[in-house]
């Protein structure tokens, strides 16, 4: 019911604003005995950290995570794990302009209209900084998944930057860690570098599409109707700020297919059912098939650009605004580890839900 | 949070299988004093009812809804409203084939793997019949919205059938009720009629894209992060069976835009803020702006087709299957009223949530 | 979390009014493969059924339960189980008096003040008839517990009627089914018979204390803080209408004890820890110890009595009221199977929660 | 669903162990615009703080609360409020004995059995220190209630220490703040002082009964069945560690009353309904009547006593244990502000729930 929480049994509540003293995640429902440490979580946070190359915001935050509870002698105790990240790079500056004017494409105006009060410093709660807490929580989820489903592998990557998509024929898992865009297409990485550099210099921004694939997911996770794995993945990804579209498997393109083209045929393999294709994105009727679970989401371009835009002030006067400061030309880059974290949280949550209702492992055998 | 429930304060739990005695919705949290009657709800159910024209399944169900509780002397009492629809057209037939074999693209195999038991008659819980219960519940939500936000208007329509999209230049709200596809483009309706007829005769099927727009939504509904209006709309639409993609406003296309192109500029109108465009789909930072709230979803083609497909049996043998029987060549048509119902449920839920936390109306004034 | 639902993973939503067409329970989260049938559930309902002897209301309802969904070929499928009970004994009568006046000690006045509308026929939602739905749902919980924890045994019994308590020295499990009061003290049963008969003839009513014991509960169920087994048992019992007090183990009497007297000493038995006593009621830190789980609750006397009482009318005038009709002189009698049902629901829910977070069985071994 | 959270719309999740770096509360759903500051919250924490007199544990913790998020320029923003309290008095000592042996009456053994790992230092999550986080969260709830329902007043007080109850004839609200036991009976305070001093010197402990009354609660809060105000109050109080019984109004004593004695008669006063008595504890059918809401709970004696007790070790051997260290002879004293905090959280939550479903204020007028 809570509006800042996510998950059924593995339940994450994030808190904190961009320019407050700290932000973090309260992680409830982690299985006991999972190895958790600040060092291990830091690895994931470092992937999302700003200021790592010229393509991301130059805000410099160490994003050092502290584990305040729920871990004893190196393992989770089954009680709430509190993860805190101090905000350190809160430059004292004059916020007058954004305190009085609403930035187009930002949450400024709606927060104001809804609440009648808003923390205008850096976007407050609607800032992309909120996603640091998700990545920390996702690190806990990954550790638990590693314990419970050895071999599960969650990988995010960029498949489109602005209008430029990757060529699936060049898809290479090994490339993903080799370029600043986390793209599996080496050629695209090269092309995008120049494209984004020009965009950055012009003070503009652009959107992106991120895909997250989970390999090694057992069959049977998810549940019918409102607990469909697709439902929770859609909610998880759409809850990331700036995301405006989510697709499972074939996604929006499924609309154009015939039943013959879309349905993945089944045959019997040595270890169980084998599918001729994966239009379904690894999910049928809301439940995992054992194929790769594939979700994709679009991140809109950040509205913080150097071009003057028309807007209004709190007092209702027409005016203009330019958003100066340190911003990501393609905020989608840093959304890759965030998408991975959300996938990890959803899968762990459904693993625990399945174990709760049905017990360990799938229940119906084939063959 | 429950896996067959949806919503925070206005909470709908659907129940029932395609070929069981009945199905329905338990609706909790409806405000008191809302006019509710079986007759009024029937209007919405009749829009979704199968067998209305040659483009939808020939299964003939009256889908008559009964109101079993929560209504007294014509109005809601604030206690749970139970809506029941009897299944009447359960032809007794030999289910042997689908009892033993898994239909490709269906939930048959995953339900079996997960639960070790499944109601194979007509898809059981994964049947599109489940959506009748949503439409009934959506009728209650619409009635409550009409009481609380006079003038709110929720309209669904088809914008793409198979590979054929509408021409937005021909968009006409008045056309939507004039053709069997609920499309605002009269020319598309004509073209699709021939296309779908041929497809139907060939025993094939095709996907579709549905858009649902809500006009007259007040600013301030929704909440940050996991309670974003976009998050709950994405979950609502993705929970409809056969849906594989969801978009808010610009959706996946937002990835290709620059910040200049995507952000809707703001100016002051006589009644408050006015936007130069609606790329955001009426939602900023998860909170409604007062513009039209626009969501779009893709429905995959039904996998019940007359072409022989490769599959396996419960005993693990490779085999083939043809799905005979009465099926929708484009199940997306009947998804239109379902999408409307989900929009109504989400908006009412967020209206109540907002009223709970903040009180009546938005809190921050402009001007 | 919904206001008409109970439970985390095994989640029961009851619906329906005393004099509407039907009432029932939507049961979500039942494990698959559990034997469920209307016949088996009817056994539990018959224990609660009114009109069985002169000590309970003479309203005659068969309380026949129908299973509308979630069961296929005799076992649960893991999808929602809808249990419906038709109301059949809705005498058409003049409700004028209770429609206009508020009965003291009843929910009439608060429902009216809160909602501005109420189903005054027989108390509507606040009627004890609501508990029939709980008993039906509890029957499903019992069946699931029998599958998952063979040997578990849940027994309710009356320990006090009006001012007359049982003598614990005469406690005999075998007596419980032998008298109309479900009391383990045969002498008390005899004494109470005369006491209650006189009370009934005078048109008065009296309260009672019910105890419910669960034997064979494994150690490790429950969770810290807000998920304490005591917390959920307290909520479960307090949610039964007319209940005004709940105790775990020593209960309110724990206040008078010293630490020496209250703490149960531990020694090692052949099958694990053995306790010298059970002041804790089988729960330490919110988690079951393996001892009997013991909860006790007080049911207030029904306010429907033949004595004239002062009250007010809807129009705000001082007036008087007598509640004629068929009522229970000691409604606590019929609360016994209700308490058992709630205990079954709570234990199953926590069994599933434990299995979800921790896996099957307890995790820490002793010895 | 979460096991460390409490509340529907105003939702508190506590986290942290007795001897970890910190503990706190994540408070979600607070209305915007409520004045919140560390200074104001500290006032409530100081009431619960240990070491204030010889009757409470000599552990010395400043219990200084930090507000890490959700507050901007002195008022709540409507986003999550993170309240953190550093643990400062974690004496480094040899925990060997309690690491290997289970203290009778403590959660040591059940945490171990459930999770297979436990933070044995000071009881970890099951420590009374967890209640500091509740008091902080309750401070936020009180501030919100003050904004929304001016005049509401929540007061806790001790009505029984060990076997010694107060004399209701001497009840004086003004006395409550005048003695270290928060009792309204000055004579009892005097008697208890000697009694508890002797008990403390002997290294023993004793239980207590706390009553919490809320005056000025509007009619109409609460909801039927599982959302009854009594249900949530019972859960709230029972979730406090060491609590074993909860009563609303007449409580367990209601069992001994007749319908004539128990039902509060109603007459019309100048400002609405007036009741002849308050056996109901201000709640009918789960909904507040406008009378004082009265809840009472029993706190068991702490099991940390200086007497040797029989127990077992992790390796399953019979042994003995004495709990040395700094402990409360009557932990019930410090439970008074905790009970107040829980009452504040429940009332605010139901105020928001009511406003969400029904709108501001009650809906049905009388007269």
Task: Write down the pTM of the prediction.
Answer: 0.97
Please provide the DSSP assignment of B325-358 as one string: S---TTTHHHHHHHHHHHHHHHHHHHHHHHHHHT
First CA to last CA across chain D, in angstroms? 42
Strands, sheet with D65-67, edge to edge from the N-terminal-most edge strand: D5-6, D11-16, D22-28, D81-86, D65-67
Please provide the DSSP assignment of B273-310 as one string: EEES--TTTTEETTEE-SS-EEEEEEEPPPS--SS-EE
Give the DSSP H or E segment for A278: none
- Give the model confidence (pLDDT) of A304-342 as tens digits: 888 899 999 999 999 999 877 667 899 999 999 999 999
d(CA B238, CA B299): 9
Nearest chain D Cα distance for residue B41, angstroms? 21
Per-residue exposure over D271-280, b if at least 16 CB sit within 10 Å of its own CB, e if not: ebbbbeebbb
Q: Which residues are CB-neighbours of D182 under 8 A, at least 6 positions away?
A: D156, D157, D158, D176, D333, D336
pLDDT grade, residue C68 (50/70/90)? very high
pLDDT grade, residue D57 (50/70/90)? low
Mean pLDDT of D351-361: 94
d(CA B9, CA B29): 6
Where in A216-270 does DSSP place strands (E)?
A: 243-248, 266-269
The pLDDT, as a whole number, for residue D90 is 61
Q: What angle do CA C151, C155, C158 make, to 5 degrees?
A: 165
d(CA D220, CA D20): 42
- Give the model confidence (pLDDT) of B214-260 as tens digits: 999 999 999 988 899 999 999 999 999 999 999 999 999 999 999 99
Question: How many contacts, defined by CB atoms under 8 Å, are there between C and D?
Answer: 449
- Give the model confidence (pLDDT) of B162-188 as tens digits: 999 999 999 999 999 999 999 999 999
Per the CB < 8 Å rule, is B254 touching A207?
Answer: yes
Mean pLDDT of B15-19: 92
The pLDDT, as a whole number, for residue D56 is 72
The nearest alpha carbon in chain C to A224 belongs to C79
Q: Give D 279-338 residues with CB within 8 A of chain B.
A: none
The pLDDT, as a whole number, for residue C1 is 42
Q: Please state, rounded to an integer, the average pLDDT across all residues of chain C.
A: 93
Per the CB < 8 Å rule, is A77 touching D117?
Answer: yes
d(CA D333, CA D158): 7
**Percentage with pLDDT > 90 across chain D:** 80
The pLDDT, as a whole number, for residue D111 is 94
Given CA atoms C284, C285, C286, C290 in this order, what sign does their dihedral have? negative
- Note the helical H segments in chain D: 38-48, 96-100, 108-115, 130-148, 186-201, 229-238, 259-262, 332-357
pLDDT grade, residue B91 (50/70/90)? low
Q: Give D 21-40 residues with CB within 8 A of chain A.
A: 21-24, 26, 28-29, 32-33
- Give the model confidence (pLDDT) of B307-346 as tens digits: 899 999 999 999 999 877 667 899 999 999 999 999 999 9
The upper half-sphere exposure of residue C197, i.e. CA atoms within 13 Å in the direction of its Cβ, equals: 9
B293-299 vs C81-86, strand pairing mode:
unpaired
**Any idea what DSSP says for residue C179?**
S
Q: Which residues pair with C243 in a beta bridge?
A: C299
The nearest alpha carbon in chain B to C35 belongs to B117
Mean pLDDT of B98-126: 90
The pLDDT, as a whole number, for residue D91 is 59
What's the CA dihedral at B96, B100, B106, B109 to 10 degrees?
Answer: 160
Q: Coil, helix or strand for A156?
A: strand
Mean pLDDT of B104-109: 93
Nearest chain B Cα distance for residue D354, angstroms? 7
Q: Which residues pair with C160 in a beta bridge?
A: C165, C209
Q: Does D210 have pLDDT greater than 90? A: yes
The nearest alpha carbon in chain B to A354 belongs to B114
- Give the model confidence (pLDDT) of A199-233 as tens digits: 999 999 999 999 999 999 999 999 988 889 999 99
Least confident of C30-44, C262-276, C324-338, D255-269: C324-338
The pLDDT, as a whole number, for residue C2 is 56
Mean pLDDT of D160-164: 98
The nearest alpha carbon in chain B to D11 belongs to B357
pLDDT grade, residue B3 (50/70/90)? confident
**Partner-chain residue, chosen from B9, B29, B357, that has the shortest CB–CB distance to D31:** B357
Q: Which residues are CB-neighbours of D221 under 8 A, at least 6 positions away?
A: C114, D229, D287, D288, D347, D350, D351, D354
Mean pLDDT of D168-189: 97
Mean pLDDT of C288-312: 94
The pLDDT, as a whole number, for residue D1 is 41
Q: Which of C221, C244, C328, C363 is the best mutation test for D, with the most CBs of D within 10 A?
A: C244
d(CA D333, CA D210): 8
Please provide the DSSP assignment of C120-157 as one string: -GGGGGGSTTHHHHHHHHHHHHHHHHHHHSTT-EEEEE
The pLDDT, as a whole number, for residue A326 is 63
Nearest chain B Cα distance for residue A1, angstroms? 5
The ipTM, to two decimals, is 0.96
**Partner-chain residue, chosen from D239, D263, D312, that has the shortest CB–CB distance to C273:** D312
Where in chain C does DSSP place strands (E)?
A: 5-6, 11-16, 22-28, 65-67, 71-72, 75-76, 81-86, 153-161, 164-165, 208-215, 243-248, 266-269, 272-275, 283-284, 287-288, 293-299, 309-312, 318-321
Q: What angle do CA C233, C239, C245 make, to 5 degrees?
A: 70
- Give the model confidence (pLDDT) of C330-363 as tens digits: 999 999 999 999 999 999 999 999 999 999 877 8
- Give the model confidence (pLDDT) of D284-333 as tens digits: 999 999 999 999 999 999 888 888 999 999 999 999 998 776 678 999 99
- B98: closest CA among B126, B130, B59? B126
The pLDDT, as a whole number, for residue C88 is 86
Nearest chain A Cα distance for residue B232, angstroms? 7
The pLDDT, as a whole number, for residue A1 is 41
């Amino acid at each position: 019911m809570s509006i800042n929480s996510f998950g059924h049994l593995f339940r994450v509540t994030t808190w904190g604003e961009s320019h407050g003293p700290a932000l973090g995640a309260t992680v409830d429902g982690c299985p006991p005995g999972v190895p958790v440490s600040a060092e291990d979580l830091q690895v994931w946070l470092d992937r999302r950290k700003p200021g790592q190359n010229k393509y991301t915001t130059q805000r410099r935050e160490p994003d050092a995570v502290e584990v305040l509870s729920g871990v004893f002698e190196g393992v989770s105790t089954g009680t709430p794990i509190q993860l805190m990240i101090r905000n350190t790079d809160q430059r004292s500056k004059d916020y007058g302009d954004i305190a009085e004017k609403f930035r187009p494409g930002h949450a400024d105006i709606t927060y104001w209209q809804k609440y009648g009060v808003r923390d205008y410093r850096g976007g407050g709660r609607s800032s992309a900084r909120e996603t640091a807490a998700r990545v920390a929580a996702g690190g806990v989820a990954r550790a638990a998944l590693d314990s419970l489903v050895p071999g599960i592998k969650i990988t995010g990557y960029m498949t489109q930057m602005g209008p430029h998509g990757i060529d699936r024929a060049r898809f290479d898992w090994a490339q993903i860690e080799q370029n600043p865009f986390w793209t599996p297409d080496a050629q695209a990485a090269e092309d995008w570098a120049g494209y984004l550099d020009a965009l950055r210099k012009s003070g503009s921004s652009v959107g992106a599409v991120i895909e997250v694939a989970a390999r090694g997911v057992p069959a049977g996770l998810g549940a019918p109707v409102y607990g469909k794995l697709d439902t929770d993945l859609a909610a998880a990804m759409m809850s990331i700020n700036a995301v405006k579209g989510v697709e499972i498997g074939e996604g929006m393109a499924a609309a154009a297919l015939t039943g013959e083209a879309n349905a993945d045929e089944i045959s019997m393999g040595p270890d169980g059912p084998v599918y001729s294709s994966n239009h379904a994105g690894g999910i049928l009727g809301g439940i995992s098939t054992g194929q790769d679970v594939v979700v994709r989401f679009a991140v809109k371009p950040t509205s913080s650009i150097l071009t003057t835009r028309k807007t209004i002030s709190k007092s209702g006067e027409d005016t203009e605004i330019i958003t100066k400061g340190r911003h990501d030309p393609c905020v989608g880059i840093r959304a890759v580890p965030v998408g991975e974290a959300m996938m990890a949280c959803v899968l762990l949550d459904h693993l625990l839900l399945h174990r709760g209702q049905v017990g360990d492992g799938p229940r119906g055998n084939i063959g």
